[in-house]
Every structure is written in C-alpha cells, then in structure tokens.
Structure 1
Amino acid sequence: MVAVPVLRLDEVRAGTGEVVGGKAANLGELIGAGFRVPPGFVITTAAYEEVCRVADLLDGLPASAPKIRDRITATALPPELATAITEAYAELGSGPVAVRSSATAEDLPDASFAGQQDTYLNVVGAEALLDAVRRCWASLWTDRAVSYREANGIDHSTVRLAVVVQEMVDASAAGVLFTADPVTGNRADCAIDANTGLGESVVSGAVTPDHFVVSGDRVTERLGDKTTSVRAIASGGVETVAQDPGAASISDEQARELAELGREVARHYGAPQDLEWAIGADGVWLTQSRPITTLFPLPAETEDGLRVYLSVNVAQGVYRPLTPMGVATLGLLATGVLRELGLPAPGARPAPFRPVDGWLFLDITGTTGNRVGRALLPRLLAAAEARTGRVYESLLDDPRLPRKPGATARTLRAFGLLLARNRIPLLVAGVLRDPARARAEAFRRVDELRAELSSPVPRTARERLDTARHALLRGTAPRMAWVAPRMMPILLLSRLLPKLVRATEAEIHVVLSGIPHNVTTEMDLQLWAIAQRIGPEVADLPARYRDRALPSEVLRALDDFLAAHGHRTAGEIDAGVPRWSEEPGQVLALVENYARTGEAGHDAAQRFRQRAEEAAVQASEIVSRLPNRVHAGLANFLLDRVRQLAGMRELPKYCAVLGIAAARRHLRAIGDELASDDRLSDPSDVFFLDYEELSELIDGLDHRELIATRRATHERELRRKHLPRLLLSDGTEPETLLPTTESGNALRGTSASAGTVTGIARVVRDPANARLSPGDVLVAPSTDPGWTPLFLTTSGLVMEMGGPNSHGATVAREYGIPAVVGVPDATTRITDGRTITVNGSAGVVEL
C-alpha cells in the first residue's frame, strides 16, 4: 500500500495538484494564505492509483467507463487505506463531513471541470465515509466527465482522483462568487449567486438563486425563484425543504463582505476566481476556489482610464486566434502602410495595436472624444460589421468616455493634412474620370509586386529573415498604400448610391451583383471551370493530384490555378496558416464537389453572367425613372463608375496576402534550417515567435520554453467559441449589455444581399470540412476570401459577424446570394440540417 495515502489539508501546498488534485491544492493554498477554510484531510491520488492497480480497474478506456464505475463502487478498500481514512476522520472529530472529488485535471487555468465529479454532503459515520470515497472515485468515469475530458483534449489514462474530506459548515446561506462578472466580463464587478441552506441548490441548478452584483460599494440585487432550500439531516445526508422565495438569502452587507473576500483571493492568485462559500454561525468559510476560465483575455494596457478595443479578427472575418508571427507580420504591414502615407509609425507595429493570446484589437478610445469620431465611426463600423456599429454607439453615453476639448479640431486638421499630403482629392478625381486607366495601373502594380516577391531566394536564415521583412515593408506596403486611397470613391459611392440615385437598398444590391474585375470572384470561377473539365466521375482528387494520376490538361489547369492563387487560404491574414499551395486538399475537395453539382445542372458561371445581365437591366430601370436628364445622367455616371471600379476593392488585401505568403515562404525555410540544426523542435515553431525573437534565435538564443508556452496558449484559444466585437479595458464586453435581437422564430441581423431563399442550413466553422449541395444555406461565424469558393454552390448566406461592406457580404451580392450578416450566435442558434429562410432584404432569418 502507498506510504502516505492521507494528508491534512493544512499540510497541502501549492503545486501539489498531481498528488492531491486541483481542488485540494487550491484549498491548501487558501489555508496557507490565511483564508478561512473548513478543516479536513485529503486522500491522495496515490491511493486511487493503488486501488485501481490492485483491482485492475482501468482497462479498455474510454469505452469501458460504465464498467469501471461499477467495479470501483463494488471494490472493498484495502484494510490499510480504510484504517488511514477512518483514523483521519476520528482526528477531525467523527462529525458530519463533506466529501468532494479532487481530480488532477481540475481547476486548471484553461479548463475548470466544474461539477464534473461528485460531491457528497453531510456524510455521517466511518462506513458512510468510505462508501462516499468510492463513489467519488467512480464519478471520474461518468459520461459527462469522460465527454468533458475528450472535448478539452485530455488523455483519460493520465487523470487521477483525490478525495477531500472537510468538516461540514452548518450554513445559513451558501453559494458561488465570481470575482469578475462572468456575463459582461467586467473585472471590477463581483457576481454572487446565493440561497439559504447548503450551496448544493445553487451549484446544481435546482433553483434560480438570488443574484447580487457588487460594484465598488454598490449592490444590485435580483431575487430568484428559490422555492426550496437544501438542509442537512441529523442522521446524515440532506433534504430539500420549502421556503419563502420573497426573502433575500443574504443581506447587502454580507454581499459586500463576500465581494471583498473574493477580491482578496483574486489578488492572491493574480487572476479572477470562481469561489464557493458558506456562511455559518461563526462567519464566512471558503469551500472552493478555482480560476474563471470563460473570461476573454485582456490586452496589456499602459494608458490610464477606460480604453475601447475593436476586434481586428472580427473586422477581417478570422474567427480563430492568430499566431504570434501572424500578429507581428500584420504589425509590419500596417507600419509600412502608415509610413507610406506619411503618418507616424515608430516601432514594429502601430501604437494602437493591442494583441492578446492571438486575438488582435485596435485601441479606438480616441474616437470617442470628438464629434467626428462619434458621428462617422458608427457608420463605418456598421458597414464593415453590422452589429459593431450599434455596440460602439451604446458606449458614447458612458461618462468614463467624455468628449475632449479640442479633439474635434485636431482630428479634422490631421485628416486634412493626410488628404493634402497624399493628394487624395486629385487621385479620386482621376479614378472617376478614367476608371479603366486606374484599374489597369492598379493591376500593373499587383503584377509588379508578384514578380518582385518571387525574386531569387536567399540562402541563409539571416538573409531570409531580412528578405521577409523587406517583402512586407518595402514591397507590399507601398502597393497597398497606392491602391487604398483610390478605393475611397468606390466605398463612399457604394454607401451613398441609394440616396444619390433614388433607389432602394434591394435594387442597389442587384446593381452590385455580377461585378467584373474582382480577383476573388475570378479565382472562384476559374476553379469552377476546372471542375467542369474534370467531370462528375472524379474521386479521391487530392490523392490523384498528388500522385499526378490525372489527365495532363487537368493537371496543368490545377498547377496553373495553384501557381496563381496558391497563396490564398481561409484565415489568410495569418502568416502562420498554411496556404493552398502547401495543403491543396481543401481546394481540391471543392473541385470534386463542383464537378458533382455541375453534372446535377447547377452552373455557377452561368449564374454569375445572369447576375451581371440583371444588374445592367436594374441600372437602366433606375436611370429611366429619374425626373430630369441631369439627374439621370449623374445617376448613370455613378452607377457605371461603381460597377467599373468595385472589383478593385479586393486589391489592397490581395497585395497584403501576397506579401504575407511570401514572408511565410521565407519563414518556413528558416524553420526547416533551424529544426535541422536542432535549434527548434519543429519547423513550424518559427510562427510562435515574432521577428525580433526569431532574430535572437538565429543568433543562438534558446526560445523553446517561450514557444511551448505560446503553443499551449494557441491551442487553448482555438477552443474558444466566443469572440467579442468590442472589448473594454475593464473586461466588459459591451455587446452583452445590449437587448437581444431574436423575435419568436426569427433571428435578426443586417441585410447584406437582397432576396429570399429557403434551404437546408449547413453550419460550417471550417471551410476545409464543408460539403455543400446546390440549394444549401451556408451558416458561418464569418468569411474571408478563402471561404468564397463555397459561395458558388450555396443558395444563401448567414454570418454571425460582418456588415454590408464586409467581404462575405460583398461577394454574396456579386453572386446574387441572399445574405444576412451580423446575426449573433447564428452557428449555435441554427441547427445543421434545419430548413431556414433567409430574407436578405429584411435582414431576417426565419427558423
């Protein structure tokens, strides 16, 4: 038998989770820090391991979990262990105890495992205690615990269980306390759920508890419908008794006391905590503390006062964390563009950048201090991501974001200097006067960039690193800065067209369909044409392409496509994401799907041509009904210019992705070299450093520990399902304070592309795994150009993120697909396979 199967809780120290489990380790740390914790002892994981080994309990995981539970509960404890437990129980006074499971995979910084294993309250007597211990061990193998571990990527065979035994608190009230509001994210607010009696009624969800929010000294109270309370029975066990729900379970003063206690615990741990507490006759006791794992991480901040952060991920349609090198690459690109435009940009990334754990934010606090920002930014944000504009507007009455004297004048002066320095009014006039020439010059510069980025490859890691930086700062950024100002008239006119030509939004959506000269739609249609050459009998196309086992003309067409577009992919703004040229399986799977749907009668190319014809007819109708020749002539001019130029909107980002892909090629080669020299464990480790850190690595500094930490953070954040559009520096997600948008069986968003369609919903979070049939409705968190090949077979689009000018919305209009964007939580509210109706004109999704 193990030498030390039982430890007193006050002997447990921090960092002993492998011996006593997460719950016991935290309780021991709380005792060591001087907090009031009911006395008790812990039966270590070694005892559990020994029992399982002797009885040969853990075989055939995880399918045998139900058998394991049965065998554990039926197994007698070894006499030495039973004696050690009963002796520790006697030392505790042999009175009523709480018996709690404490797993090694529990109360972790990124996975709390709250409630996954069992707790038994008011256990009385040695035999009842030994039985409760066995049942705690068995609860490690409940269906819910097994599923939770699988969802969090934890190997079942590595998890062990300790058991905590503590004196019962004869509680007049108990519950849970979050030292940051788990709903809004506000780190300054403490949220308390409470009921009379034991805390079991609260943590189990058996009642709607009283809810208190403590902000400073202010207490906001909402009484719950707590018709019952859990009480201890003298002979052991608990009972549920009726009570008056109208009386508060704790007073405001007790709520303040609990909040202050919680803040002290959070300060001790250096992170927000989820606490369980009980109020006995002699005061407050803590019965558990663990980190709150659901809060969105906060960027590091050096500025004083409340700050407002805008999500770049949301704006760019990238619903996954960026790699550290991806963030650094965007920083260099943005710095280069700002310098080209004559704006101050010291350092490796713009000052407003606020990255945190792979999520990139911009500090836009300054816009709230002047009239220009308050008036224009909500409209600009709404165009790019519909709901973001409404969330931003909700902040403008916050007294912590006051208007600043002189800010408006400074903003107008800076904007005027920017326009004058870059001669933007003249550029805009030239583009409108001769759009064909402007378009030709833009595409010429793109071709120049492509040629420049494919120049001879340097040999050493140092040369490659310098070349990657140069490709971004000196090659890509100047082209982006040249094209971007010339896009201003297109973006402005697109938004103003309904008023300028007296047309409805739905009519303008038709005019903006079938737009020519768009690199992304041309890419999609090229892929469609290849699929039609292959025919419907294709199978295992990725393997056949890899083995070169296809007709020569098909191989040549696919090679040419990847040569032209292989730098693209879903999430392409992240240099750490493989390109289609590296992993062509995703795009080749789309070709297979295209081939089958084409044989079924669906013709995406014909549909696109038809949309262009409908756009021309709609434009003529709009012009023909205007009251006078002058207005009609102006409308005809504006509609023509928008159609001629709108396809250019893709070019700034297209240049960016060319530069990012070129930098990635060099970084991959550096990774290969350093891994072959055993300075990296894996070539892809380079993407978990930034450029300066990689330079240090090339010079001989060891960054393996830093890389391992960042990889773990990246893996954790990949599992995050929720991404805030806007975030405040106190942790608040302001969108949580807005009223909900659903109404009955309808979800409301923003109209992005007119029309109505009914079809089968296909909820897709990763385009690599998508298989859509003609008529299906694509439901996605967001989209970027790597998603657009899916648009050729879908009949409608619903996005959680996005606005009428976001990428997905614009491409949907060009393809004539009804689309609603900015639908909160669409991928969870809409079930895959359900029939839904997308009313793109009204901005409504009917379930």
Structure 2
Amino acid sequence: MYSLSFEKVDEANEQVGSKALNLIKMKRKNLPIPDGFVIQTEALKRYIEWNGIDRQTDNIHERILYGEIPIEIETDLIEAFQNLKRAYRSVAVRSSSGAEDLEGASFAGQYETYLNVKSAEDFLSKVKACWASFFTERVEQYTQNMYADFDEISMAVVVQGLIQSEVSGVIFSQNPVTHNTKEIMINASYGLGEAIVSGLVTPDVYLVNKQTFEVEKEKGLKEVKIIPLVEGVEEIETTEDEQQRFCLTNEKIVELAEITKEVEALYQHPVDIEFGIQDDQVYLLQAREITTLAEDNKLTPFQKDISLSFDDMEEFWILNDTSFSHAVSPLYASFIIPAFSEGTASSFQKLKFIFDRLNLKVYKGHIYTRTEPFQGDFNKRIQEHKELMESIYPILAKRMNQIIKEQFLPYYNKLDSFTQENLNLQRGKEILQGLADFYKTAYDLHFDIVMPQMSLNTIVEEYYKNLTNKKSGHDVYELLTGKMNKSLETDQQLSRLALTVKRDSELTEIFQEECTENSLKKLGENKAGKSFVTELDTFLKQFGYRSVISHDFVGEIWLENPLHALSIIQGYVKDSYNFDENFEQTVKKREQNYKEFLAQIEDSKHKEEFKKYYEWALDASVIRDDHHFYIDAMLDAKARLFLLKLGHLLVNHQVFLVKEDIFFLYLDELESLLENPVDMTKLIEKRKEEQVEHEQTSNLPRYFGTPEPTQLKEAEKYMGAIEENDANSENSIKGLASSSGTYTGKVKVISTTKEFYKLEKGDVLVCKTTTPLWTTLFQTAGAVITDAGGILSHSAIIAREYEIPAVVGTKISTNKLKDGDMVTVDGTNGIVTLLTE
C-alpha cells in the first residue's frame, strides 16, 4: 500500500516524511488537525523505476513532472483521495521530506504546496509536481548547503482536507526575533495561509506572554488574501475595513496561545505552527520544531547536563549577568557549571544554609542560575545555621586566609609545575581531570568563605535599618568602606608605579604615547626604564593573575602581556591620582561617619549589639575582593596557562590550528581527544562563530519560569532588578541606589577592557557590570551606572570605596545612553537623569 491514512501511520515510519509525522503526532493528542493521508516515499521510488528515470540526468525534473504513474499506485491514490473528499470539498497537497527538519535547516518554502485540489486528475498532477519539486535546482543547492546527503533524501506527500480559512497564519512558540522563550509570536492575515508563508502580505503581529497571556498588537496592512475558487485559488485585494482592523479577537489570540503551549509541551521544544480558522474553529495545518533556534540535538549527555533544556525553562532560572556578563566559552562552562552545583551542595550542607544548592546552566552561551531550597525542617535548619554562624562571624577573614594558605596556594604551586612539564597526551588527560575535580573543591571552599559573610551583612543591615527607622538598611555599607583588600592593594601598587614614572622625565615622556610593544622596547633602553620594568615584573608576579575577561579562560592575563598593566599606569600618570592620599581620606570619613552614627543611638544595649556585628562585618569586608583575587581570578588564570600548554600539545597532534582553540571544546570532547586526537578544525570554526553570535545576542530572557515575589526580591539584592523599572521615562532611568551622592558629567560607555582608554577624568562610567579588573577605572570616573548588579555587587562596593555616586541594576543604561550624553547620577535615590542640551 502506497498511501496510509493518518490513523494508520506508525510514528516510527520513516517513509512518510517529517511534515506528516508531525501532523500525526498532534492528531493522536486530539489537537485540531484536519483529516488526511500520506503517500509514502516508496511511491516516488517506484515511479522513478517505472519510468526508467536516471537520477543523474539533466532533465530529471521534467521527466518526473510528465511521467506515467503505475496503475497500482494510481488506483491506491485515487481511492484514498475520494475517501477524503467525502468529508471535505477540496484538499491541500503538500510535500513531506525528511530533509525538512535537518539540524539547522529551515526548508519552509523550498518544496511545493497546492491548495483547493478537487478533481482526481488534478490531484495526480499535483502529486507529480510535489515529487518533481524535490529535484529542482533550488532544493538541490539548499540541501547541499545544509550538508544533506542528496541521494538519500526521498519525498513523501501529505494530502489533507482543505480548511476554507477566513483567517490564517503562523505561530512561533518562541519569539524568533528576540529568542524570548516566554513570548509567543502570532502572524495572522485574511484568507488561506499561503499569503503569509509566501510573503505576499504584511500580517498583524501579536506577542503573547505565555504566563499571563497579556497581548501586544501591531497592525499589518494585510494587503491581499488568497481565497479558493471553483477551481484553484485567487489572490484578491483586502477591503479598507479589513486592513484597518485586527483580524483576530483577544479571545481567539488566547485560544491560539493555549493550543501553542500544548504543542510545545508535546514536542518539548520550540515550534512553529501554521493554522487556519474556519467558522470560528481553529485548525492546525502544520507544525515543526524550530531547528534554527534549537539547541544542538547532537549534544552529548555531559553537554546536555550543563545546558538549559526546554524542561528547565518551566522553572525559575535567572540570567546571572552580574558574575558572568559575557557569553562564556564551552570549556569554561564545562568547568564552572559542575563546580558551582557540587560545590554549593557541599558547602551549603556544612553551613546549614537555607538552600540545598545553587545550579548554573548555559543558554546561548550565557549563564543562568537557579537555587534549590532546603527540603527538610526549615525552622530547625535556620536555627542550626544561626548557631553555626555566630561561632564563626568573629573569624571570617582569618578563616578565609587559612583556607587559601592550606588549600589553594599549594595546588597552584602544583599546577605551575604541571604547566612546566613536557606533557604527553595521557599525562595531560590525568592533570586535566584533576583540575576539573579541584574546581569542585574550590567552589565548595569558595562558598564556605563567602556565604557566612553574606549572612553577617544581612544582620548588620537589619540592625542599621531598625536603629535608623529607615525602610532600607543599604546605607550601612557606606560604613564598611576604607578597609584594604586585594583589589585596592592592586590599585595602590599601580598608583605607586605611576608615581615612579612621574618622578623621571624620560619615563614620563614614554608614557605620553599610547602603550605598545614599542613602549616596552623604549623602557629597556635606559637605566630608569630598566629599573621600572624590574618593578613592573615584581608587581605582575604578585598581582598579574587578572584576566581581561573575568570568569573565563579566553582572555589574556596581565602576566602574559604587561601592556594591560602599562595602559592603566598610563592613565594614573595622566590623572595625577594619588591612591594613598585618597584612601586615607576614605578611612577618616568612614571613622567619622561611624562615630556620628553611634552618637545618635540612645539605646545602649542595641548600640553594643550593633557594634559587635559591625566590627565583625568591617573585618570581613575584605572577603569579597580577596576571595576573588585568590580563588575566582587566580584559579582561572592558572588553569588558563595550563590549558594553553595542553592546547599547544594538541596543535602538534593536528587537532586544531592554534592553542587558544582549546577553549572552544567541551570538557568531555577534550578528554576524548587526549585519548584519540582527530581533526576538529571545522567544529572549532563553527563554535567560534557561535560564540560571536552569543556575545551579540540582545534581549536575552531575564529569567525563565514564573518566580514568586520573594524569589525576585532575594535575587535583586545581588543581581539588581530583574526587569526594567516601570518608572523609567524618556529622560530618566531608575536603578538601585548603591553609593550616595549626586554627580553630573559626560557619559562614556565601556564595553570591554580594550575600551578602558576612552574613560577620562570626571566621565560617568556606563557599563554592563564591573569585576575587580575594572576597579582601576573608579579613581577616574565621576560616577558609575551599570545594567546589572545589586547593592552587594562589585560595582556598588567599589563605588562606595572611592566615594563616587553609583546607580546599578538599571538593565538598560548601555542601550539607552551613548558617549557624550550629559547625565546627573543620583546615587542616593537610584535615579539617572538624561539632560537635554
């Protein structure tokens, strides 16, 4: 039998093509699919054989179009056609090929579709036309471009009862423009759907929120519509009334959205759907996975485990652009995601924390975070946590330093020695696996260090809020400034190197020009320059484990290229900045403010309680930057140097072209290549292109799922507001008040470390977020505005250290503001005002 009704097709049948299988899959779930049948691929093969067609002939398309259908096929097809015609006035005839859903392919419009077919003679003619369409030049070229094996692809045909659509359209379960998975896009117009599919009309566009079903509408011109005639179809102009009104009611939009969610849940994947509406009844005419938006279906189990799946998106995952402001490399994702999950599970258990673990996963190269709450007796857990924390609050900084000394520094020494080894593949794999294991240990210890400090800060903030009767206790962080940490110490040493330059006229002259390799050469040509280079080398050996791209392996570290440090020193030379003097003023101001605050407190008992927790918090205030220096930054830097050594080894084995290519492999791929080296250059090039696309992706979903208000509030403390503030206007941006004061100045939008040179004294620094590497800009900036971050983010903390106003977590500052804009930054109230000329 060459034809099969939808009811009789096995879902494993590969001879009916993707389009048919999708329709059958939905029909069996009682979704509104018109009846139909499928002409299996064997019919085309038999037809070619019967007509003696050589598949290599030049006129294969014509031979198929005008060939003779064998009698056994013709009889079978006409019987199926007539049975379907008993329920429908006419049918639609569509090609159905396995190539239509090739990974990364989108074959929409590449094959033929025929509507309003009524006679048996016309029906057979249209079947041959569908078969012939497979052999047109455009399809052959398309399949070759998509790496399809042309000889292996066969053509089935779907025959379906035609829906006499008054309105039709296409639905995307994931916004194809912004890739927002929380938004459905519906394109709709009058008449049969071919008008939209073929691009004849500008349709109405409806954006539907999947959770709330709120609708945004944009009216299209809907210039023409296709209607069925006695024979064939006709394209006619729409009336002015039709053009001026929306073609879908709100009720029908919601109904379509609900059906779309059902289809998406069935596929467990983003889908696009063609629909028609006849007599107010919705019918689904086609559906397929959105392969061009989808995750790679060939991901290994390890890669799937660290990637955000469609199922995951039903839960609350938040974009972590505070810690990971960029698209991370595959290899870094391979290390950091398991390390976070296993590390937090271990440390949270030891600390009796109110969460079980903190999960990370990657989506389009960007890191999303999800917390798993504690599942046991919550009140008991809180009490245990409180008792444990009280015992370690007084020694948090001392405890951190001991962990670093006993756990991290010895491993770094080992890793340095591994990097110097003459590696072979087996030895390289052993060290690699040990490094991945140490990352899990490192992040267990990482959270063992930082979580108690966060708890302590919360207590101090609550005390401050109660003592001052303020709605927020954020102002207390102004009293935790002026404590030397590794970020400030780095700046101090850079400032002192700048003073060395300024004391010598020849050195000063060298630093007047842009810092290049030529600058290094000039420094080596005189006595003062050589002495300076010696000082710089000493500095880099201690402070050079900073990457130009934090939280990744891909960026150079200062130790590899001293020009990064030299360019910062150059800025200090030009600005005449004296770190020691400014730091001394910060300490004095903090001490004075603290003294004045204590004088206002009349309740001696509460005053003593606050003083106790405050002194512990001040002592522990170094933790954020010191742990980043020794753990986050140094571990990634040391790992980078070893991985580059491994990359060099694989270059020698012809795996890829340059050692830095190693960062575009996942860990499981890298381990496999160390067992069996093979050429990966094509995959690496593809991954590099994807990395650029991921980095340029705009409008990433801020979060997935439907969070509770308490979840959003807790996340906001560390990551800033989740959504753009409703209070924003054309000339005003609202964020979080993070460092008090008001400043008016000229905007400089800084995207990467390569643009640090743009910031001039007194400019307002506008960026996505900052890491300790960016600390050097704060002595130049007059104020800071960021897209991401909360009151405990690096940007907020360092702005308070440098006593400059800061508004963080605006979400939109880097898009709304541009270089040269004049703004007033109100860090006390969290408002940025764009000043008109």
Aligned to 1:718: 695
Question: Any unmatched runs of 5+ in structure 2?
Answer: 1-56, 66-92, 118-127, 130-137, 147-162, 228-233, 297-303, 503-507, 713-720
How has the CA–CA distance of structure 1 residues 751 and 262 changed in structure 2, closer, same or farther, with 3 Å as cutoff? closer
Of 620, 631, 634, the residue aligned with 1:645 is 620
User: Partner letter of residue 243 of structure 1?
Assistant: D
**In structure 2, what is the Cα distance between the partners aligned to 1:573 and 1:642?**
26
**Per the alignment, in what secondary structure is the counterpart of residue 758 of structure 1?**
strand
User: Partner letter of residue 581 of structure 2?
Assistant: Q
**In structure 2, what is the Cα distance between the partners aligned to 1:233 and 1:274?**
21
- Check whether the contact 2:768–2:814 (CA below 8 A) recurs between aligned residues: yes
User: How much has 1:692 moved relative to structure 2?
Assistant: 3.8
- Check whether the contact 1:176–1:203 (CA below 8 A) recurs between aligned residues: no
How has the CA–CA distance of structure 1 residues 300 and 205 changed in structure 2, closer, same or farther, with 3 Å as cutoff? same
How has the CA–CA distance of structure 1 residues 637 and 251 changed in structure 2, closer, same or farther, with 3 Å as cutoff? closer
Of 495, 514, 539, the residue aligned with 2:461 is 495
User: How much has 1:338 moved relative to structure 2?
Assistant: 4.7
Q: Deviations over 1:466-498 (max 9, x none)?
A: 345545645745753663465356433453352
Of 583, 587, 606, the residue aligned with 1:612 is 587
- Check whether the contact 1:458–1:464 (CA below 8 A) recurs between aligned residues: no
Aligned to 1:747: 733
User: How much has 1:775 moved relative to structure 2?
Assistant: 0.9
User: How much has 1:821 moved relative to structure 2?
Assistant: 1.0
Aligned to 2:478: 510
Aligned to 2:669: 693
**In structure 2, what is the Cα distance between the partners aligned to 1:506 and 1:571?**
29
Residues 522-671 of structure 1 correspond to what in structure 2 (within 5 A)?
Answer: 522-535=489-502, 537=509, 538=511, 539-544=513-518, 546-547=520-521, 549-550=523-524, 551-598=529-576, 602-656=577-631, 657-671=633-647
Residues 191-590 of structure 1 correspond to what in structure 2 (within 5 A)?
Answer: 191-196=185-190, 209=204, 211=206, 213=208, 230-231=223-224, 242-243=240-241, 248-250=246-248, 272=270, 291=290, 299-301=307-309, 306-311=314-319, 313-332=320-339, 335=342, 338-339=345-346, 352-364=359-371, 366-367=372-373, 407=375, 409-413=376-380, 424-431=389-396, 441=402, 444-445=405-406, 451=413, 453-455=415-417, 457-460=420-423, 461-470=425-434, 473-474=437-438, 476=442, 480=446, 483-484=449-450, 487-488=453-454, 490-496=456-462, 498-499=464-465, 501-502=467-468, 508-513=476-481, 515-535=482-502, 537=509, 538=511, 539-544=513-518, 546-547=520-521, 549-550=523-524, 551-590=529-568
How has the CA–CA distance of structure 1 residues 237 and 693 changed in structure 2, closer, same or farther, with 3 Å as cutoff? closer
User: How much has 1:718 moved relative to structure 2?
Assistant: 1.7
Aligned to 1:787: 774
- Check whether the contact 1:37–1:286 (CA below 8 A) recurs between aligned residues: no
How has the CA–CA distance of structure 1 residues 468 and 503 changed in structure 2, closer, same or farther, with 3 Å as cutoff? farther
Of 790, 795, 801, the residue aligned with 2:788 is 801
User: How much has 1:809 moved relative to structure 2?
Assistant: 1.1
- Check whether the contact 2:175–2:183 (CA below 8 A) recurs between aligned residues: yes
Aligned length: 663
User: How much has 1:695 moved relative to structure 2?
Assistant: 2.4
What TM-score do you get using the length of structure 1 for normalisation? 0.64
Q: Deviations over 1:206-263 (max 9, x none)?
A: 99947374979x987777667x6524899x9998963278855146797689779978
**Per the alignment, in what secondary structure is the counterpart of residue 427 of structure 1?**
helix
Percent identity over paired residues:
20
- Check whether the contact 1:753–1:840 (CA below 8 A) recurs between aligned residues: yes
Q: Deviations over 1:530-583 (max 9, x none)?
A: 233324531232313553634013212322222222221243222343322234
**In structure 2, what is the Cα distance between the partners aligned to 1:15 and 1:521?**
59
Greater Cα radius of gyration, structure 1 or 2: 2
After TM superposition, the structure 1 stretch with the greater mean CA deviation from structure 2, 243-252 or 812-821, is 243-252
Aligned to 1:379: none
**In structure 2, what is the Cα distance between the partners aligned to 1:753 and 1:605?**
21
Aligned to 1:26: 108
User: Partner letter of residue 641 of structure 2?
Assistant: R
**Per the alignment, in what secondary structure is the counterpart of residue 846 of structure 1?**
strand
- Check whether the contact 1:212–1:255 (CA below 8 A) recurs between aligned residues: no
User: How much has 1:757 moved relative to structure 2?
Assistant: 0.7
**Per the alignment, in what secondary structure is the counterpart of residue 520 of structure 1?**
helix
**Per the alignment, in what secondary structure is the counterpart of residue 314 of structure 1?**
coil
User: Partner letter of residue 110 of structure 2?
Assistant: G
**Per the alignment, in what secondary structure is the counterpart of residue 832 of structure 2?**
strand
Q: Deviations over 1:730-774 (max 9, x none)?
A: 9xx999988734145211111111111111111122122232001
How has the CA–CA distance of structure 1 residues 268 and 578 changed in structure 2, closer, same or farther, with 3 Å as cutoff? farther
**In structure 2, what is the Cα distance between the partners aligned to 1:821 and 1:843?**
8
**In structure 2, what is the Cα distance between the partners aligned to 1:489 and 1:502?**
20
**Per the alignment, in what secondary structure is the counterpart of residue 751 of structure 1?**
strand
How has the CA–CA distance of structure 1 residues 778 and 214 changed in structure 2, closer, same or farther, with 3 Å as cutoff? closer
How has the CA–CA distance of structure 1 residues 517 and 324 changed in structure 2, closer, same or farther, with 3 Å as cutoff? same
Of 795, 801, 804, the residue aligned with 1:817 is 804
How has the CA–CA distance of structure 1 residues 231 and 198 changed in structure 2, closer, same or farther, with 3 Å as cutoff? farther
What TM-score do you get using the length of structure 2 for normalisation? 0.65
How has the CA–CA distance of structure 1 residues 184 and 828 changed in structure 2, closer, same or farther, with 3 Å as cutoff? closer
Q: Deviations over 1:766-794 (max 9, x none)?
A: 12223200111111111212222222211
User: Partner letter of residue 316 of structure 2?
Assistant: V
- Check whether the contact 1:17–1:104 (CA below 8 A) recurs between aligned residues: no
**In structure 2, what is the Cα distance between the partners aligned to 1:184 and 1:233?**
30
User: How much has 1:597 moved relative to structure 2?
Assistant: 2.1
User: How much has 1:822 moved relative to structure 2?
Assistant: 1.1
Greater relative contact order, per chain length (Cα 8 Å cut-off, separation 6+): 1
**Per the alignment, in what secondary structure is the counterpart of residue 622 of structure 2?**
helix
**Per the alignment, in what secondary structure is the counterpart of residue 713 of structure 1?**
helix
**In structure 1, what is the Cα distance between the partners aligned to 2:467 and 2:689?**
54
**In structure 2, what is the Cα distance between the partners aligned to 1:181 and 1:744?**
26
How has the CA–CA distance of structure 1 residues 473 and 593 changed in structure 2, closer, same or farther, with 3 Å as cutoff? same
**In structure 1, what is the Cα distance between the partners aligned to 2:451 and 2:214?**
50
User: Partner letter of residue 628 of structure 2?
Assistant: K
User: Partner letter of residue 756 of structure 1?
Assistant: T
**In structure 1, what is the Cα distance between the partners aligned to 2:697 and 2:459?**
38
User: Partner letter of residue 502 of structure 1?
Assistant: T
